[in-house]
């Protein structure tokens, strides 16, 4: 079976504090969405930081698509290989229109080379298609700064999609969203993986949202204190005594926004 991501014995230290302790994780190529949950401070964001080159692990291996060692690559090189990441807070350009934001994102590499801000007609078609997918096509000419919080999050996801990711890393994409926006985002996740070859790795603390996605058969990984504590179907991890124990004192894992 093809392996998309192979994380082996990853250790990240912040001045001696081990944010990741011998973390092992395998995502197969046929998997479309992997959900990553765990109490606050478990190391979820640090894992994304390590995968995308923002922090340098002390030891361990990260192999992408069976052979590319991501740990040897710069942030830029990792993104060029198709590992694309969204941070927790939206970072769109507020004074540019939705469409301009998309052009800036889709042409990022080319702009660096040519300093040209013009999009080809191919880019136009692709941008329109992606905006349609995230429900923002009718807002294409509005200032990004005027969008709602949820719409900004979708715009940012759209800006990542035009970069044609192979592995899309999303860190708490529904934080601060309304219930209706969360519903739309859950449907968007499914539509992304149905329409492209992209695999999504998604950190989320909103358990209702996690359950909604996991119900479709996607695997859940539970992290705790820098390691993987449990893995499997949502039913399996939610009934795992170790998981329940890890969440005690912070509310039960079944109790909604518990992590
Ligand atoms: N840059 C940093 N410097 C020092 N400690 C950090 C840094 N980033 C994260 N940590 C610590 O590492 C642990 C894991 O953090 P994080 O990965 O953000 O957890 P999560 O995303 O699961 O809530 C926490 O204890 C956090 O305080
Ligand atoms: Mg985090």
* pLDDT tens track for 200-246: 999 999 999 999 999 999 999 999 999 999 999 999 999 999 999 98
CA angle 152, 157, 162 (to 5 degrees): 125
Does residue 233 lie within any of the structural domains?
A: yes
For 69, counting Cβ atoms within 10 Å of its Cβ (0-12 exposed, 13-18 middle, 19+ buried), the class is exposed
Does residue 224 lie within any of the structural domains?
A: yes
User: Ligand 1: distance of its center to the CA of 168 in Å?
Assistant: 21
User: Ligand 2: distance of its center to the CA of 40 in Å?
Assistant: 7
Residues 115, 107 contacting (CB under 8 angstroms): no
Does residue 117 lie within any of the structural domains?
A: no
Q: What is the CATH number of the domain that holds 44?
A: 3.40.50.300
Rounded-to-integer distance, Cα 118 and Cα 227, Å: 45
Residues 232, 67 contacting (CB under 8 angstroms): no
Does residue 226 lie within any of the structural domains?
A: yes
Which ligand gives the minimal distance to the CA of 13?
1
**Which of the two residues, 152 and 251, has the higher pLDDT score?**
152
Does residue 101 lie within any of the structural domains?
A: no
Does residue 235 lie within any of the structural domains?
A: yes
- pLDDT the model gives residue 108: 55
- Does residue 115 have a pLDDT over 60? no
Which ligand gives the minimal distance to the CA of 171?
2
**For a pLDDT cut of 90, what percent of the chain falls above it?**
79
Q: In this structure, what token pair is assigned to residue 224?
A: 């705790």
Does residue 17 lie within any of the structural domains?
A: yes
Q: Is 251 helix (H, G, I), strand (E, B) or coil?
A: coil
Which residues form the domain of 44?
3-91+168-247
Does residue 42 lie within any of the structural domains?
A: yes
Top mutation candidate among 10, 12, 14 for ligand 1, by most atoms within 8 Å of CB: 14
Residues 23, 10 contacting (CB under 8 angstroms): yes
Global pTM value: 0.91
Which ligand gives the minimal distance to the CA of 43?
1
- pLDDT the model gives residue 122: 62
Which residues are near ligand 1 (CB < 6 Å)? 14, 17, 19, 38, 40-46
- pLDDT the model gives residue 177: 95
Of all protein residues, the one whose alpha carbon is nearest to atom 24 of ligand 1 is 41
User: Ligand 1: distance of its center to the CA of 150 in Å?
Assistant: 25
Q: Total structural domains in the chain? A: 1
């Amino acid at each position: 079976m093809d392996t998309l991501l192979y994380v082996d014995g990853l250790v990240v230290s912040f001045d001696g504090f081990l944010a990741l302790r011998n973390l092992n994780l395998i995502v197969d190529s046929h998997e479309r969405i992997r959900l990553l949950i765990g109490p606050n401070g478990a190391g979820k964001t640090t894992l994304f930081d390590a995968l995308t080159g923002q922090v340098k692990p002390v030891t361990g291996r990260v192999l992408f698509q069976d052979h590319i060692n991501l740990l040897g690559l710069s942030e830029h090189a990792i993104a060029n290989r198709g590992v694309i990441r969204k941070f927790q807070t939206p970072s769109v350009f507020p004074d540019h229109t939705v469409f301009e934001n998309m052009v800036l994102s889709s042409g990022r590499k080319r702009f660096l080379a040519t300093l040209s801000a013009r999009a080809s007609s191919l880019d136009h078609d692709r941008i329109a298609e992606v905006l349609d997918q995230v429900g923002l096509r009718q807002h294409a000419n509005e200032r990004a700064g005027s969008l709602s919080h949820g719409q900004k999050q979708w715009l940012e996801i759209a800006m990542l999609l035009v970069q044609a990711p192979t592995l899309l890393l999303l860190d708490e994409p529904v934080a601060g969203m309304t219930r209706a926006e969360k519903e739309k985002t859950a449907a968007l996740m499914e539509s992304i993986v149905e329409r492209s070859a992209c695999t999504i790795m998604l950190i989320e603390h909103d358990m209702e949202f996690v359950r909604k996605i996991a119900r479709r058969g996607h695997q859940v990984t539970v992290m705790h204190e820098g390691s993987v504590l449990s893995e499997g179907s949502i039913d399996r991890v939610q009934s795992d005594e170790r998981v329940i124990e890890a969440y005690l004192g912070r509310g039960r894992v079944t109790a909604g926004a518990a992590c």
